[in-house]
């Protein structure tokens, strides 16, 4: 194992789809709307700092509305992610799922200069990290690079949203900045 591959096998324990909050990028959301026809006003929620842990105060994707701050997340219930089939425990939008879901629990390794070294598994996540499988790192790295590009654009969108001073601004108004979805949808007030 090394730069070309990383040992890991998902044993479908369900932890990452029930216990982990998934923070999609706007481009993840667009893909889910286009491929699945999913309603972003139903499958997204906006979490306050009290409702999420493990995100830095200075994370550039905090949405500012009045005196409160929010992060865009996939909606969850006590049963887990909005897209988790409650019977089979499989993802119902597997082909369109967010990049974060695709990269979990892999962690990229780079030099300080940004040279790619390989992938390992995140130390601080709850995945059992079974090592009885092998994944090629090239597709993972392509996903990682794609996500980095999107993060920059994501921050630009957030900056524009945060600069808005309209008194009736709501966190879900962020959605209409990057995706068009019929506002007549029953779940969008």
Residues 69 and 91: their CA atoms lie apart, in Å, by 29
Rg of the chain over all Cα atoms, to the nearest angstrom: 18
Helix, strand, or coil (residue 117): strand
> Element (H or E) spanning 110, and its range?
strand 106-110
Instruction: Compute the least distance from the CB of residue 98 to ligand SF4, in Å.
Output: 6
Alpha-carbon gap, residue 100 to 78, rounded angstroms: 21
- Residue (1 or 21) nearer to ligand SF4, CB: 21
Q: Is residue 52 involved in binding ligand SF4 (CB under 6 A)?
A: no
Q: Tell me: does residue 33 bind ligand SF4 (CB under 6 A).
A: no
Pick out residues in 115-134 that bind ligand SF4 (CB under 6 A): 127-128
Q: Is 38 in the site for ligand SF4 (CB under 6 A)?
A: no
108 in contact with ligand SF4 (CB under 6 A):
no
- By CB under 6 A, name the one of 5, 7, 15, 61 that touches ligand SF4: 15
- Interaction of residue 74 with ligand SF4, rule CB under 6 A: yes
Partnered with residue 46 across adjacent β-strands are 72
Residue 35 in the binding site for ligand SF4 (CB under 6 A): no
Dist. CA 6–CA 160, nearest whole Å:
39
Candidates 94-102, 111-119, 147-155, 181-189: pick the segment binding ligand SF4 (CB under 6 A).
Answer: 94-102
Contact status, residue 179 vs residue 172, Cβ threshold 8 Å: no
When asked if residue 47 is in the footprint of ligand SF4 (CB under 6 A), the reply is: no
Cα separation, 58 vs 71, whole angstroms: 12
Interface residues with ligand SF4 (CB under 6 A) are 10-17, 22, 74, 81, 83-84, 91, 93, 97-98, 101, 104-105, 127-128
């Amino acid at each position: 194992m090394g730069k070309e591959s990383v040992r890991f096998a998902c044993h479908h324990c369900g932890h990452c789809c029930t216990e982990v909050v998934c923070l999609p990028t706007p481009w993840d959301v667009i893909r889910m709307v286009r491929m699945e026809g999913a309603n972003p006003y139903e499958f997204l929620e906006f979490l306050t700092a009290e409702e999420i842990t493990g995100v830095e105060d200075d994370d550039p994707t905090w949405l500012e509305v009045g005196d409160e701050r929010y992060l865009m997340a996939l909606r969850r219930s006590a049963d887990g992610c909005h897209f988790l089939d409650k019977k089979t425990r499989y993802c119902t939008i597997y082909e369109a799922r967010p990049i974060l879901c695709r990269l979990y629990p892999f962690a990229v390794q780079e030099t300080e200069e940004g040279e790619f070294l390989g992938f390992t598994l995140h130390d601080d996540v709850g995945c059992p990290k079974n090592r009885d499988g092998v994944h090629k790192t090239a597709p993972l790295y392509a996903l990682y690079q794609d996500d980095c590009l999107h993060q920059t654009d994501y921050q630009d969108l957030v900056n524009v949203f945060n600069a808005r001073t309209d008194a009736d601004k709501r966190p879900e108004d962020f959605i209409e900045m990057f995706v068009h979805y019929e506002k007549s949808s029953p779940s969008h007030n």
